[in-house]
Amino acid sequence: MFELPVSGSKSVLVSLDLASPEAEESIAELRLLVASAKLLVVGELRGKVLRPHAATYAGSGKVEELAALVASTHAQLAIFNHELSPAQQRNLEKLLGVHVIDRVALILDIFSQRARSAEGKLQIELARLERLRTRLVRGWTHLERQRGGIGLRGGPGETQLEIDKRLLAKRVSQLRTKLDSLREQRSVRRSKRKKTGLFTISFVGYTNAGKSTLFNRLTRSRAYAADQLFATLDTTTRRVFLDSSVEATLSDTVGFIRDLPHGLIAAFRATLEEVAEADLLLHVVDAASVVRDQHIAQVNAVLQEIGAAEVPQILVYNKIDSLPENARAPGTVETDEYGSIRAIRVSALQDLGIAELRTTLRELAQRQRPSTWSYHSQEAIAG
């Protein structure tokens, strides 16, 4: 059974393009994920395939090429930029002689490293165990039939596989019960905030778009922020005065990413309900990213999945300090044809456009009638 990657493990990256127009962006993102997991890249294998091979994802020729790369670099780990089936993972490990993980497992490992709160740790454990349930198969060498004996770990003739499945199911049930309890607690806290009439704002956005830096700038707090993927996992909520008489709550949430595992979204259900029940979403976008349109689409897809697509949102184009001087326009507020605010340009790091953003939020909070706002699909700002 595969164990967690050790920090600094020598790794080779495998990306087989299935004619995707976002192939280059995807492999660049994989490199960032690997760096976030503190793994050492010693080689890369690229290629094109028409369709995944059922047994090994890559064809026999590519597997031989990968095996040679692993041997020459003394790699300890092969990381596929694709989701592998349990059979594909096992077959590749037999052929390569090293551990093999896919993009989903890598993301889960990063989450497990970053979780700090008790709730975050429970959510990650649940997501990992749900994934493991699909990978308990009769291919393990230690799953021979047990002999006799009656005890807590198994009855007569019960296989190790059956014991593992039973214990895993029990642990999953325990985790769900604990998370449901925490979900109820969150619901009670949200109800209390609603009764006070506080305007609730949640930050959403692609990972590493600068949400936490912007959150810290607006709330004058010190939530953890770093130039890395998934720097924030645990939701942080702060009260903030938008002026001397207008108060709101701001919540910083986990960043999204392409191919975010569905099990992870389900495990973070209680946390993401903060987003679905907010009065306003600040959708933070890296203005300097050449694929910001795709990032916006990915975030909106996740918002649709968690039932938050109808919550009013404002695009906050962050990191404008990375743009050419003539393209920055800090504090510029953009509206749609109905006069509804749709976007604003800022730099949280350089404090550009923040005053205008606070003014915008204050005006919206003063209305206190979010259900009457017009919401329209978001489009990227040119330039």
Fold category of 197-372 in CATH: Rossmann fold (3.40.50)
Least trusted range by pLDDT, from 90-94, 132-136, 378-382 = 378-382
- Hey, what are 358's tokens? 């606070």
Residue spans of the domains in the chain: they are 10-110, 115-175, 197-372
- Please choose, from the candidates 198, 233, 237, the residue with its C-alpha nearest in 3D space to the C-alpha of residue 215: 237
pLDDT confidence bin for 36, thresholds 50/70/90: confident
Same fold, 10-110 and 197-372: yes
Pick from 45-49, 187-191, 214-218, 251-255: least confident: 187-191
Long-range contacts of 325-334 (CB under 8 A, 24+ apart): 327/383, 328/352, 330/356, 331/355, 331/356, 331/357, 332/356, 333/360, 334/381
Nearest to 287 by CA among 245, 238, 345, 224: 345
Q: Which residue is associated with the tokens 């002689």? A: 97
- Segment 137-177, tens digit of pLDDT: 544 444 444 444 444 445 554 577 787 788 888 988 898 88
Question: What is the C-alpha separation between 6 and 37, in angstroms, rounded?
Answer: 9
Kindly list the strands in the beta sheet with 236-241, ordered across the sheet, starting from the edge strand earlier in the chain.
236-241, 247-252, 199-205, 280-286, 313-318, 341-345, 333-335
Any idea of the CA torsion for 138, 141, 145, 151, to the nearest 10 degrees?
-100
Highest mean pLDDT among 1-5, 134-138, 159-163 belongs to: 159-163
What kind of architecture, by CATH, is found in domain 10-110? 3-Layer(aba) Sandwich (3.40)
Q: Between the CA atoms of 348, 368, 233 and 123, what dihedral angle is there, to the nearest 10 degrees? A: -170
What does the CA dihedral 171, 231, 238, 301 come to, rounded to 10 degrees?
A: -80
Q: Is residue 336 scored above 80 in pLDDT?
A: yes
